[in-house]
Amino acid sequence: MKPDAPAHEPRPAPFPGEDPEAPAPLLSVRDLRVSFDGVEVVRGLSFDVRPGEAFGVVGESGAGKSLTARALLGMVPRGATTSGGVLLRGSTDLAAERGRRISLVPQDALSALSPVHPVGDQLAAAVRSVRRVSRREAAARAVAALERVGIPDAARRARAYPHEYSGGMRQRAVIAMATVNEPDVVVADEPTTALDEERREQVLRVLAEQREAVGAALVLVTHDLDVVRRHADRVLVMYAGRAAETGPAGRVLARPRAPYTAGLLASLPSSDGPPRRRLPALPGSPPAPGALGTGCAFAPRCPLAADPCRTREPEPQPLDGRLVACHRAADVPDPIREFL
Ligand SMILES: Nc1ncnc2c1ncn2[C@@H]1O[C@H](COP(=O)(O)OP(=O)(O)OP(=O)(O)O)[C@@H](O)[C@H]1O
C-alpha cells in the first residue's frame, strides 16, 4: 500500500498465480463489461495497474481498447452500459478522481485544448478545478508543467494560444494538461497515431519522463506491439473485448502463449527488414460484436484451434508468469515461427 493511501483502502482479490510480493495495485479492474444496445463489446476484463508502471493495452482495431481506457476514467460514451468494478486506490467514484488522480491524454490532441484561451490559463484552470490554490500559484504550476514537457520559454508560451504552438508543442501541452495535477495514473489513448515516426518517439519519451517526474502509472493504449515492446512494463493483449494474454511485456513478447499474441508479433517487421514470416499475418478479421459464437472468439483465425476452442470460451489461467485465455496455450510452440 502506498504510504499516503487511506488505511481502509480495500485491496481487491489477487489474480490466480499473482505474485504475492507485488505492490498493491493503483487501479484494479474486475469483470469490466461495456455494451451498446445489449451487445457486449468489452466482455469481462480484469487487470491491475501497479504504481509507477507503464501498462500497455494492445489489440487490433475494434478490440475495445478505447472503451476500456474511457471506462477507467468513468467516461464511456452516451448509450453505453457498463458493469463490473474499476477501483482507483480504493475509490469507485471515477468522475470525482478524473483530472486529480487519473487523467487522459486523448487520441486527438486538439480536442483537449480550447482554441479561445491561452494554454497557460487552461492548465491553471485545471489546477484550480482540483486544488484550492491562488491564481498565482496555479499559473506557476501551469508554467512548471509546460517546462516539464520541454516547452522552451514556458513562461512566455503559457500566454500563447494553441494555434500559436507547433503540432509537436501542442501534443506536449496536452501531456502537460494531463500531468499538471501530478495524477497517480495517466491514460494515453493512442497518443501517437497521427504522428510521424520522429514525433511519435518524442511523445512516448515525454510520456515516460512525466511518469518518472510525477510518479504516475501510465496506461498506454496502442495497436502497435512495437510501442509496447519499447515502452511498457506489462501488457494486456485484447481480442474481441476480452483479454487474450496479460503479463510482463518482455516475457509475453519473447514467448507468447496466446496464438493471437503470436500472430500479432509475427506480423511486426523484424528490426533488420522484412516481416518475420512468409504467410500473411493474421488472416481474416476480428468478429463483429454481436456475431460471436459460443467458443473462443479467435478460433476462426487460429492455426491451433481444436474442438474445445469452438464450443467453450477460454478463461484466463496462469501460465509461465502471465495469464492466458487459450485452451491451447500449453501447445503454442517455441519459437513461434515454427507454427506461423
Ligand atoms: N458509441 C458507440 N456506439 C456503438 N458502438 C460503439 C461505440 N463506440 C465503440 N463501439 C464499438 O465498440 C467496439 C470497440 O470499440 P473501441 O473504440 O473500444 O475499439 P478499439 O480497440 O479502441 O479500436 P480502435 O483502435 O479502432 O480505436 C467496436 O466494435 C466499436 O464499433
**Which distant-in-sequence residues (6+ apart) come within 8 Å of 240 by Cβ?**
43, 63, 64, 286, 287, 289, 292, 297, 298
Measured from the Cα of 67, ligand 1's closest atom is 18
Q: With a 6 A CB cut-off, is 62 part of the ligand 1 pocket?
A: yes
Question: What pLDDT is recorded for position 105?
Answer: 92
Q: pLDDT value at position 336?
A: 56
Q: Using an 8 Å Cβ cutoff, are 216 and 179 in contact?
A: yes
Pocket probe for ligand 1: among 65, 104, 236, 237, the residue whose CB has the most ligand atoms within 8 Å is: 65
Instruction: Quote the CA–CA distance of 313 and 299 in Å, as a whole number.
Output: 10
Give the residue carrying C-alpha cell 484550480.
128
> 62 C-alpha vs ligand 1 centroid, how far in Å?
5
Residue 3 confidence (pLDDT): 40
Nearest-atom number in ligand 1 for the CA of 107 is 27
Which of 37, 41, 223, 237 for a ligand 1 pocket mutation test, highest count of atoms within 8 Å of Cβ? 41
- Tens of pLDDT, residue by residue over 42-93, are 999 999 999 999 999 999 888 999 999 999 999 999 999 999 889 888 888 8
CA of 39 to the centre of ligand 1 (A): 12
pLDDT at 308: 92
Counting other chains too, the contacts that 204-209 makes at CB distance below 8 Å and 24 or more residues apart are 204/230, 204/231, 206/149, 206/150, 206/172, 206/175, 207/105, 207/175, 207/231, 208/54, 209/148, 209/149
- CA angle at residue 325 from 230 to 85, to 5 degrees? 85
- Render pLDDT for 313-335 as a digit per residue (tens, 0 to 9): 999 999 999 999 999 998 887 75
Q: Domain spans of the chain?
A: 107-182, 248-338
Model pLDDT for residues 158-183, shown as the tens digit of each residue: 999 999 998 888 888 999 999 999 99
Pocket of ligand 1 contains residue 67 by CB under 6 Å = yes
pLDDT at 4: 45
Closest C-alpha to ligand 1, atom 29? 62
Ligand 1 within 6 A of CB of 77? yes
| Cα-to-centroid distance, 43 and ligand 1 (Å) | 13
Cβ of 284 closer than 6 Å to ligand 1, yes or no, is no
Q: Which cell numbers in the block locate residue 156?
A: 512566455
Mutate to test the pocket of ligand 1, among 66, 223, 225, 228 (most ligand atoms within 8 A of CB): 66
Q: Whose CA is nearest to atom 5 of ligand 1?
A: 36
Intervals of the chain under pLDDT 70: 1-20, 194, 268-281, 335-340
- 156 alpha-carbon distance from chain centroid: 33
